[in-house]
Chains A and B, each alone.
Chain A
């Protein structure tokens, strides 16, 4: 189960995300319905639950994808063991079922832990807000029955994710137990074509729906619904086709890394298994895209509200505080998904270093100093992080704008085109977080890498 600690953490974070989100949304609804003098409280509450619903779907989606990717990485790391089991007679399907069982266990464990953590976070947030007189002290319910949904969803998606991730078990041939040299070749050749076609179809349909949402958004906030579906579909397409879309970004960043044996090898390593690199990056891409999407949408929303307040102060009185609370809470909750992404990334990088012990030993024997090795690992994680952040920022700006346009295009002042607002704090935070993550994601792998004795290079195993 130790190997699954990162997956349990991911499931825990996903479940906590969902639970906390529902509890907070519930609390906000309680607050709004009891707030005196809210002339349009019904409308605001409706908008809020609409936005809340959007976030729940996003939360479950992120959890599922990160979990699936974490599992795929774990399976990749087990290739040798699985091959050995196959060699001594285990069937591929029994091996796969075993993995799926682990997935179910991980899902249940994560769900239970996530419930506890999520409730604790909500409780802390609300208590803090009440204590600082930020929100009124009302009877907030912490256990709305609806929180069973994300918990169940986490169990099911983790289970499903482990099943999907374990598809690779079927590709492992017993021969792989004998040779150490070729790890994970099958990743490169695994049925690319159909997957890319599906990805492109999803993106096309998704973009179509997004366009529809944006157009409809000029008339009604309900434009956000087709927009949301379109966003999910097109983003799913991007995630599915990540091994196809991300490597070019990776290559570009790799070129900027500079020369020298360590940087060059790092760039080669990052490009070595496009699917694995994409898997390492995709969590972060999703995280940054989400945060950016939200920040851009929220920025646009605040912009509009500011204008509305200027024009009709009496109608929009009190909205400022509410919006600040909402943005704060949602930002914190989105921080969760960024954390999930970070866990996935650290985990993937550590694994990929761990699986290269022999190669690192060879480099040490041939004269790679420990500091060159460190440079290599940091450069590798920097390359992945920077590429993921850039892609995420670009995608997030687009999705954030599309979301704001479809939800708010019809708001105050009638049909209007919203200019995407990319807040400076966001760029600063993302860059700082990326730098921090690069370092964090390098700590374990460099420690492992520099502990490898050059002697392993000549091990026969």
Chain B
């Protein structure tokens, strides 16, 4: 009998994952036999140099892209063989996203963007969910901005809206790809603190892709990728330790 990922406290898992692009002499192997699980309730950072396969790993784990070989689970559901519509619905209900930029639908105001996942699912938030969303909106100071459109917000405010949207439906897992990549360091710290709090205070599982040691230092666990392979998997570390490790990694390569 197979152990399901949920049994061992994993909210997402990939095994023997390989992803290659192109073919023949131009073939690029972005991920090479990667096996890793994201633990429930934890803030995990995925780090590595540019081109190491971080985004690719996130895309496949979140069901945004298909793998070349290997298996992928979200919760107890193996998504490797799901059709597009089932996968989309699963993503809608169980995964949240925060991207580096262009997170919001330009035609919808802040509230419309926050409630979009519910609307897509053809339902309104329950009373309990409404309380949670209101709490997030107030905590992030977005209350006076609810009627504004994305282009009327600063980059940091847009990221905060994206975070409220991602956390609002209490998904199993929130993926964030370089969520602070476009922000100055102070706003970036705000956003990171927020993500860390969501994990520690509310048990939200978060996987964040970053190449910034300071950003990674907010996480409870750091997985390092290099050339499409996992080269290190460690607990909470300071920015200095992370930088040190990355420098060492470059030295080896």
Chain A residues with CB under 8 Å of chain B are 180-182, 185, 260-261, 264-265, 268-269, 272, 358-359, 362-372, 453-455, 457-458, 460
Contacts and interface: CB of A to CB of B under 8 A. Distances in A.
A235 B165 CA distance: 47
A190 B93 CA distance: 42
Contacts of A460: 100-101, 178, 181
19 contacts: A180-B101, A181-B101, A181-B106, A182-B151, A264-B119, A272-B107, A362-B103, A366-B92, A366-B97, A366-B116, A366-B120, A366-B165, A367-B91, A367-B92, A367-B120, A369-B85, A457-B64, A460-B101, A460-B178
A260 B122 contact: yes
Contacts of A181: 101-102, 106, 150-151
A370 B100 contact: no
B55 A364 contact: no
Nearest to B92: A367
Given A272-B106, A369-B88, 16 more contacts: A181-B106, A265-B105, A359-B105, A367-B88, A367-B89, A368-B88, A368-B120, A369-B85, A369-B89, A370-B85, A453-B64, A457-B97, A457-B99, A458-B59, A458-B97, A460-B100
Contacts of B120: 261, 366-368, 372
**Considering residues B59, B92, B120, which has the most beta carbons from chain A within 10 angstroms of its beta carbon?**
B120
Contacts of A359: 102, 105-106
B116 A365 contact: no
Interface string B139-181: 0000000000011000000000000010000000000011001
A446 to B, nearest CB: 14
B122 A363 contact: no
B241 interface: no
Interface string B45-59: 000000000010011
Contacts of B128: none
A57 to B, nearest CB: 40
A453 B65 contact: yes
Contact of B99 (A264, A364, A370, A458): A458
Contacts of B106: 181, 272, 359
A185 B85 CA distance: 34
A365 B92 CA distance: 8
Contact of A454 (B64, B104, B165): B64
B117 A185 contact: no
A372 B84 CA distance: 12
B7 interface: no
Nearest to B90: A367
B126 to A, nearest CB: 18
Q: Which of B102, B105, B116, B119 gathers most chain A CB within 10 Å?
A: B102
B42 to A, nearest CB: 22
A370 B85 CA distance: 7
Interface in B167-213: 177-178, 181
A454 B99 CA distance: 12
